[in-house]
Amino acid sequence: MFKNFWYAVEFSEDLVVGEPKKVKLLGQQLVIYRKNSDKSVVAMSDLCVHRGAALSSGEIKDDCIVCPYHGWEYEPDGSVRKIPAHPDKGIPRKARIDSYPVQEKYRFIWIFMGDLPESERIPIPDWSDIDDTDKYRAVTGSFLWKSNYERILENGVDVAHTPFVHGGVFGNKEKPEVPEFEVEESPWHCKVSVKLNPPNSKGIWGLLNPNKTKDLTKRPQVPVSTTWWLPNMILLDIKTPMGELKIFDVNIPIDEETTLVKFVALRTFFKGKWADRDARRRVFKVLYEDEAVVNGVRPELLPFDLSAELHVKSDYNAVLYRRRRQELIDKGWSVEGNTIVGEGPARVEARVIPSPIRKEVPELASAWNFKEVRSKELLGKRTEREERGDVPRTDTTDTPREEGVRA
């Protein structure tokens, strides 16, 4: 898992004024809420510096969030403005927690989880198709998955698995070859474009699909592209004979072994509301099919050593992902998982991902009560811990398994 990226954590429409919400990612717990004044979103550690209570159970007052335990009031920048037990005393310098930059874009709330200055942050990719509501009809949804997000990301961009895992949906077992593909890449993304052989469409797609040739091997090919962006984003673009399908998804790493997938699925055909349910059902069908295979993959986490698994040509984009990931580890951007979120062994210490203000205001260097999460130095030790089978489980009982359909 990596810090110093923008992470989409929630759909904008699912965060309403006056109702703070807990979100979990990178082994951390955060609270997000909307300010009363301009409705913009605040994201901070869900961890009161006084006794560690969850601010997400508190109330919003003006633009502040009030801790439910002893009523300390936090400003949007993470500093405490009031300690009700001692209104006449000054506020200690250490009475502050990390508050993270936020953007609302492409129907998502994005949080920058790291301390890079604005000029060094890798921008959110261009997903402006999501805003083109004239061209596309959209459905959205969430899917909680007990697997590692990198295994899920590799699965999402893997073209060779579709005939076997999704035979009959958009893979065709009679034509499993992966033909020559085009690649477009940058340090932050990789797009693979290929022409695949579709199966016969079923359901309402089958009724209306102009290509009804019974002989599957004679059906026209379908241009498909899969793209990953670091650290956890995917686009699946399928040009069916009926029109275009684009599925944007984020694989939110709650921790190393729990992932919350949130998707926006766009289509240029069957744009009536009547087809929304069917469009959503098709995405979930694919997710359940993938889950059945990915949950059985061992080791559960992506190996750090490239030679630990065998790669062939059609794994090009996955190999590139693993190389880039190693570079991020070398940069010191990896973060230890299950720092706050997990169940299992009780912790005596909560560590957080540092926010930009820690670097921006050096005078505050000694004012941070919570230490920073450990990074790559601990990766080796973590592997030892896994060998002992000593990996904490995660409490996700408050996260619904499958959720949502919206136009």
Alpha-carbon distance of 46 to 24, in angstroms, equals: 9
**By the 8 A CB rule, do 75 and 83 touch?**
no
Interaction partner, residue 260 (Fe ion, ligand FES, none; CB < 5-8 Å by kind): none
- Pick between residue 84 and residue 243 the one whose CB is nearest to ligand FES: 84
Distance CA 33, CA 249 (A): 23
Determine the size of the site formed for ligand FES (CB under 6 A).
8
Draw the binding track, 33-72, toward ligand FES (x: CB under 6 A; -: no contact).
---------------x-xx-x-------------x-xx-x
Nearest Cα residue to 286 out of 127, 125, 145: 145
Q: Which of residues 289-348 bind Fe ion (CB under 5 A)?
A: 290
User: What is the C-alpha R_g of the chain?
Assistant: 23
The interface partner of residue 290, options being ligand FES, Fe ion, none and the CB cut-off 5 to 8 Å by kind, is Fe ion
State how far the Cα of 108 lies from the Cα of 106, in Å rounded to an integer: 6
Q: Which stretch binds Fe ion (CB under 5 A): 18-26, 177-185, 282-290, 296-304?
A: 282-290
User: What's the CA angle centered on 364, arms 362 and 365, to 5 degrees?
Assistant: 70
When asked if residue 173 is in the footprint of ligand FES (CB under 6 A), the reply is no
Measure the CA–CA gap between 249 and 251, rounded to whole angstroms: 7
Q: Rounded to the nearest whole angstrom, what is the least distance from the CB of residue 49 to ligand FES in the complex?
A: 8
Tell me which of ligand FES, Fe ion, none is bound by residue 170, counting a contact when its beta carbon lies within the kind-specific cut-off of 5 to 8 angstroms. Answer: none
Are the C-beta atoms of residues 178 and 194 closer than 8 Å to each other? yes
Distance in Å, CB of 218 to Fe ion, minimum: 25
- Residues found in the chain: 407
Q: Rounded to 5 degrees, what angle do the CA atoms 332, 335, 338 make?
A: 165
Minimum CB separation of residue 92 from ligand FES in Å reads 13
Cβ nearer to ligand FES, comparing 67 with 233: 67
Contacting residues toward Fe ion, per CB under 5 A: 290
Contacting residues toward ligand FES, per CB under 6 A: 48, 50-51, 53, 67, 69-70, 72
